Structure 1
Amino acid sequence: MLKTANFSGDFWGGTAAMLVALPSAIAFGVTIYAVIGGQYSAYGALAGILGVAAVGIVAAMMGGADRLISAPSAPAAAVLSAFALQYVSQDFGPDLLFVMLMVVALLSGGFQVLFGLIGLGRLIKYMPFPVVSGYLTGVGLYIIAAQSPIFLGLPQGTHFWHSFQIINGWQWQSIAVGTVTIIVMLYADKMFRIIPAVITALFVGMAAYFLLGLVDPSLYQPNNPFVVGELGGSGGIDYLQMFTGRFEELFLLQWDDISLLLFPALTLAALLSIDTLKTCIVLDSMTHSYHNSNKELIAQGSGNIVSALIGGMPGSGTMGATMVNLSAGGNSRLSGVIEGVMAVGAFVALGSFIAWIPVSALAGILIVIGFRMIDRHSFKLLKTRQTALDFFIIASVAVTALTVSLIAASGVGLVLAIVLYIFQQIGASVVYRHIDGSEARSRIIRSREEETILVEKGGNFSVYELHGSLFFGTANQLYTMLQDDLQHKKYIIMDMKRVQTVDLTAAHILLQIKDILHERDGYLILCRLPHKLPTGDDLESYFNQVGLLKHLSPIKVFNDLDDAIEWAENKIIKEFSLGEKGENLLELHDFDLFKGRRDETLEEINGLVESRFVKKGDVIYSEGEGNGEIFLIRRGLVRVMLPTPGGKSIHLSTLGQNNFFGEFSFLEGVPHYTDTIAGSDTELYCITREAFDVFKKLHKKAAYGFMHALAAVLAERLRLTRSELVAEYDA
């Protein structure tokens, strides 16, 4: 439903937008239909006006973005004029060309509606920038080339290069009017900021034309070659006959004829969609709003269908008219409707005025528009090697648009962009970070004997943190990087947290890696497999489907990198330890915290402690429980977890025999801030702060020694944590 709360702003915004859109639309229409024959320029002007009205009104009524102004645009003019020129050269008659242009416009509108219905709106706006830039540059150059003969006053259909070989055919009247128009178009914004430059340039061009009529009276003759000519009546075009004639010819088209029009229509639909969505994105950034891409395409396609049916040009959301609408107070879709209605009013009221618009003035306006479409900043891309290929794409698309066709240019651009992307992916390393096992450590606190083994034998495993896309272009790169480790390591850990995509080739390479490790009794260890890739796939499910994670396969999967490193460490410790031995149950005097204490003191401390047994997987305490107690591990493993607001937990450390936990609660006399879970059947000593305070009063020196030993261990843990954080930051 249209909003009317800001009718005044929408009225003036829509009116101002019409004044900008209408002259450009007339110029675009003349560009297309003048290719068929100079006598059809007036019909082109009419097609432009009808396009402003139909596309503007229907797109807004169908739910287009607020403040967006839709009208015939440069991409439509370039594609359709190239299309018309192609079939004129094949001696197609005017009547058949009219109906072919209508069908192309009709199909393009249908394709846009289809794009919106199947959700392509959000994909089209991600068209590679070099392709869009190159195409718009090609369109700009094409417009300049097409308008140059008109600017020089040469007959319709004269080729750009040929126009410079027939200098004796140049018309000074046309050159003079076009030159004045171009100068005004370039500098009007600086001189008359209130009036849009295209309006100023058009009126000054007409004024120059009538002043030249004082020197050459033939310019005052109606329907002379230098003006658009009458839009209807005895001296002009019978619009009713043209309208009905197109539908009569439509039934004569065969399916083979229509199939030839599908690709031009698809190209036109894509370009108009890109042009619209690009304008919507700019509009969103300026108004802090958000457009619905798919809904916008349905609205634009509907407008183009109606425009084609009534003989108008197709169009898109246009930047210039939209910005004028915004600055003049337009605030809703009503401004788009008003723009279309005012275009109809202008046609009815100013039909005779439009007939006297000089075609060279329109050519001058379009030459400036074409020049502004050229991406001149793209030459800066040549300064660096990284962006030189992007410039190559832009240049290739532009050259193809000029030398072959605008339709072929879009295909060339997309193919080159895909090839460039593949080369960039192949050139980029898929290994985010590589850590040798001699440097990697899990969070488990090891005994000195175990640490010694890991220092000497930790090189038996490696950690590879992967990122990006694992596909046919990068899978062999990964395999090559692993070649040395596959000859010497038994355990390869691959952290896949940052992986975006994996294809079948990459999965096959992982199978090869797994088999090579298996031959040496080794394992491939995968961790942090994304359960929702950007494609929506679950990576673990995909690996199951391709047979990588078979039952009893020499491959391990962990949810956490630390768990994977801990598993590899345990395998190495077990392999290189001096013999199979179980853990002895520690007594108080065996703990490092009580080393050097006298037997009498230990006996008194022993009366303070409480023995506990916890089964594997049971919770020892949760966050918020307890009120000042420290636990000593006599035997077993304890995992310390930090709860997060999202309901997940962060693994802080795993503690083994001769370690302690709960120290902060003990020191501060407050509840615990972590969760602790038994990693195996575990036996503990528990000392409460209350009991320790009683002991401290009787044995100050022993209590001091205990606190000093506790502080030393905490300092060492803090040092290790700092090293881990620095390593993570440097990565």
Structure 2
Amino acid sequence: MKKIFVFKNFKGDLLGGITAGIVALPLALAFGVSSGLGPSAGLYGAIFVGFFAALFGGTNTQISGPTAPMTAVSMVIIAGIIGLNEGDISKALPAILTVFLLAGIFQIVLGLLRVGTYIKYIPTPVVSGFMSAIGVIILVTQILPSIGYYADEDQEFVHGFKPFAEEVILEKILIKEANEGILVVEHLEITAARASLITEEEILLESKTLANNEASGVLGTIKVLPRALKSINWLELMLALGTIIIIYGFKKITTVIPSTLVALVVMSGIAIGMDLAYIPIEKIPSGLPTFNGEIFTNMDLSSIAPYISSALTLAFLGAIDSLLTSVVADNMTKTKHKPNRELIGQGIGNTIGAMFGGIPGAGATIRTVVNIKAGGVTRISGMIAGLFLFAILLTIAPFASKIPAAVLAGILITVGIGVMDYKGLRAIPKMPRTEVLIMLTVLIVASFYDLITAVVLGLVMASLIFMKKMGDVTVQGSWVKSVGDDNAHESTIELSKKLEEEVFIKRMNGPLFFGSTSDIQELTKSIPLTATTVVLHMSNVSYMDQSGVYAMEEIISELETKAVKILIVGIPDQLRQMLEKVELIPKCIPHNLIFDSMDDCMKWIIENVEDIA
């Protein structure tokens, strides 16, 4: 425990933690609203994830909490589950929090399995495209609240969904009766009776849910934007624009005080002080956060099974987000983080946060940088940031509930603009076409279709392209030459000119795997019919998989049918062991025909190969 709590720099940790907490406050509220669970969910996430990730994590100066990528994915999950629960957040909440709980547990498992060591191998184009897509999603989806348009309040728009709402309600009745075993011809009067009990209020509620679903996401926003622009709430727009102007303008004056906090205080103060008719955020409950025991008592695995992949995505995304921030912290503090311990800490934070209704979080780069610059050195600084936000919750929750929704929309617009990977976008003209294709594919698919699909597609594309390139490297570096050709081998021992038509060297460079085997086999066909001896030079074959073993078997079999003697030079241990397991060595190639160096091989050729010309 002595290494966990070091109080030598407590003053710096105190200042760093409070400063990071101040920066985190407006973002936590904004991310909570954006997620669909309300500002309190963002604040709870910042408190619990921030405190416990700092306590158990592997990066001393890391500040954790809701982030733009985690919120964007959470927003999709939340909207999907709410849609399956008649638009009722209270009904959907246990399932939503269960998914978040699973994401935290998955992160702990990833840490225990030491997956954190391998996160660094995720291709940059995938990360770049994903981050830019997150920026697009946040930016576009905040256009409607920034102009004061909410689909469920547009009566004409909602009215258009009434026929569909009636169909949805009737379908639910039929499903319920099917589950009860009474959906038969003899009991149609029960179905008719239940249908007659449907009220206008129920239809209106379902219509609002359908309207909200239609207007959600990037495509939904684009669809309803023409309607929204016809009924702009100019007060909401002015509050959002004022927020954006202060955030960017105040940074030019000083960076000592976070500009987001200044914008939040100033614009909220103007709206409240002048008693403007603005739209406030949802009420933040005062007092202690409540434990959501329904996660465990009402757990229904069948209802959350479709979201297992979403929980895994959250877990991996949080891992990537956190470890990238850890690298930034390492560079600033000249320290070395522990990636697997960091994943365990993040997982514990997200697990506990879910139990109290918080949205998932990860290591936050800006907040971590602020903490370090303000003097934070140990994990105590991250814990203080969480405790500071907890104190804010207990003291000013009633005031925070009066914050204009448009102000938080303005804050999120600046977050969306800032989170995009401009470095990657600017590099497009200089990047290889394949990497540009991966990045743009992830960006477009994530923005307009699905974040999870985009990541999987990007990883598959990157893997296939990588394997193709590695296969090309192997083929381009491999050749067949006569033993008498220049640069055919490194031995200084010279052979008789008469043997140049009979002894050939087949050199293989690079990994011999499924991506290169077919071309390597084709290369074997270039060995002339005059050959009586072939040397397989394998010292530069770095790796061989099972496909490579089968390819070697076919190459050796083909040469044996032509009565060609096969010699092997410089075979690495891994390759030799694999060939021994399938008995190619010594059944087809005896141990005495395997040489450590080309010189030893050349001596054997001189002594044993006769000119048959």
- TM-score by shorter chain over 0.5: yes
**Counterpart among 516, 528, 547 of residue 558 in structure 2:** 516
Match of residue 180 from structure 2? none
Alpha-carbon distance, 1:308 to partner: 0.8
Does 1:530 pair with 2:572? Answer: yes
CA distance in 2, matches of 1:380, 1:491: 55
Q: How does 1:5-404 map to 2 (within 5 A)?
A: 5-33=8-36, 44-90=38-84, 91-155=86-150, 157=212, 158=215, 159-161=220-222, 162-210=224-272, 213=274, 217-219=275-277, 226-232=279-285, 243=290, 246-248=292-294, 251-380=297-426, 382-383=428-429, 387-404=432-449
Cα deviation 1:90-144 (Å, max 9, x = unaligned):
4242212211221111000000000011121112232122222222222211111
Cα distance, 1:89 vs. partner?
3.6
Shift of 1:239: 7.7
Q: Could you say what the CA RMSD is over the residues aligned between the two structures, in angstroms?
A: 2.7
One-letter amino acid of the counterpart of residue 605, structure 2:
A
Match of 2:536 in 1: 494
Q: Structure 1 residues 173 and 111 mapped into 2: Cα distance closer, same or farther (>3 Å)?
A: same
* 1:440 to partner: Cα distance: 5.3
Please list, as runs of the form range in 1=range in 2, the aligned pairs for 1:554-703 lying within 5 A after superposition.
556-572=593-609, 575-576=610-611
List alignment gaps of at least 5 residues for structure 1. Answer: 35-43, 532-537, 579-731
Q: Distance in 1 between matches of 2:267 and 2:543?
A: 58
* Cα 1:154–1:566 shift into 2, 3 Å: farther
* CA separation of 1:20 and 1:490: change in aligned 2, threshold 3 A: farther
Cα deviation digits, residues 174-210 of structure 1 (max 9, x gap): 1111112222323433321222232233234334535
In the TM superposition, what is the alpha-carbon distance from 1:416 to its structure 2 partner? Answer: 1.9
Contact 1:84/1:101 (CA < 8 Å) preserved in 2? yes
| Match in the other structure for 1:689 | none
Change (3 A) 1:455 1:199: farther
Q: Is the 8 A contact 1:64 1:300 kept in 2?
A: no
2:148 aligned counterpart, secondary structure: coil
Tell me which residue corresponds to 2:193. none
In the alignment, is the contact (CA less than 8 A) between 1:111 and 1:301 conserved in 2?
yes
- For residues 262 and 393 of structure 1, the distance between their equivalents in structure 2, rounded to whole angstroms, comes to 25
> Residue by residue, what CA displacement relative to the aligned partner does 1:450-473 show, whole Å, maximum 9, x if unpaired?
x5x534433533334433321222
- Checking the alignment, whether the CA contact within 8 Å between 2:514 and 2:547 is kept in structure 1 is yes
* Greater fraction of residues in strand: 1
Identity %, equivalent residues: 28
Residue by residue, what CA displacement relative to the aligned partner does 1:282-313 show, whole Å, maximum 9, x if unpaired? Answer: 22233222211111111110011111111112
Q: Unpaired segments of 5 or more residues in structure 2?
A: 152-211
Deviates further, 500-509 or 166-175: 500-509
Structure 2 Cα separation of the partners of residues 320 and 565 of structure 1: 63
After superposition, the Cα gap between the structure-2 partners of 1:202 and 1:514, relative to the gap in structure 1 and judged at 3 Å, is same
Whether the aligned pair in 1 keeps the contact of 2:491 and 2:598 (CA below 8 Å) is no
Does the Cα contact within 8 Å between 2:293 and 2:355 map onto a contact in 1?
no
Separation in structure 2 between the aligned mates of residue 339 and residue 380 of structure 1, nearest angstrom: 35
Contact 2:144–2:225 (8 Å) recurs in 1: yes
Shift of 1:552: 5.7
Shift of 1:517: 2.7
CA shift in 2, pair 1:500/1:357, >3 Å: farther
Report the 3-state secondary structure (helix = DSSP H, G, I; strand = E; otherwise coil) of the residue aligned with 1:228.
coil
Counterpart Cα distance in 2 of 1:64 and 1:443: 50
Answer yes or no: is the 8 Å Cα contact 1:181–1:361 preserved in 2. yes
Q: Distance in 1 between matches of 2:44 and 2:265?
A: 21
Deviations for 1:246-287, whole angstroms, at most 9, x for unmatched residues? 534753343211212311111111101110111112222332
The 8 Å contact of residues 458 and 569 in structure 1, kept in 2 or not, is answered as: no
The one-letter code of the counterpart of 1:227 is P
TM-score by length of 1: 0.69
Residue of structure 1 equivalent to 2:457: 412
Q: Quick check: 1:491–1:517 contact (8 Å CA) kept in 2?
A: no
**What is the match of residue 503 of structure 1?**
545
Q: What is the aligned partner in structure 1 of residue 155 from structure 2?
A: none
In 2, Cα distance between the equivalents of 1:356 and 1:269?
Answer: 33
Question: What is the TM-score of this pair, normalised by structure 2?
Answer: 0.82
Structure-2 separation of matches of 1:443 and 1:89: 70
Go from structure 1 to structure 2 and tell me whether the alpha carbon gap of 1:488 and 1:170 turns closer, same or farther (over 3 Å shift): farther
Aligned to 1:684: none
Amino acid at match of 1:568: I
Find out whether 1:484 has 2:526 as its counterpart. yes
Tell me the number of residue pairs that the alignment of Structure 1 and Structure 2 aligns: 539
Higher relative contact order (CA 8 A, sep 6+): 2
8 Å CA contact 1:507, 1:548 repeated in 2: no
**SS at 2:316 equivalent:** helix
Alpha-carbon distance in structure 2 between the residues aligned to 1:5 and 1:320: 25
Deviation track 1:1-32 (CA, whole Å, cap 9, x = no partner) reads: 21111111111111111111221111101111
**Mean alpha-carbon deviation: is it higher for 418-427 or for 540-549?**
418-427
Deviation of 1:62 (Å):
1.3
- Taking structure 1 as reference, are residues 442 and 317 closer, same or farther at Cα in structure 2, changes over 3 Å only? closer
Separation in structure 1 between the aligned mates of residue 599 and residue 492 of structure 2, nearest angstrom: 12
Q: Relative to 1, partners in 2 of residues 1:567 and 1:279: Cα closer, same or farther, differing over 3 Å?
A: farther
SS in structure 1 of the partner of residue 535 of structure 2 = strand
CA contact (8 A) 2:36 2:79 kept: no
Q: Distance in 2 between matches of 1:480 and 1:155?
A: 64
Counterpart in 1 of 2:185? none
Q: How far is the alpha carbon of 1:566 from its aligned partner?
A: 3.6
SS in 1 for 2:357: coil
- The one-letter code sitting in structure 2 at the alignment partner of 1:335 is S
Q: Structure 1 530/292 Cα, relative in aligned 2: closer, same or farther at 3 Å? A: farther
Contact 2:57 2:346 in 1 (8 A): no
Cα distance, 1:498–1:361 mapped onto 2, change above 3 Å: farther
Give the 3-state SS of the residue equivalent to 2:477 in structure 1. strand
Separation of aligned partners in 1, 2:128 and 2:579: 40
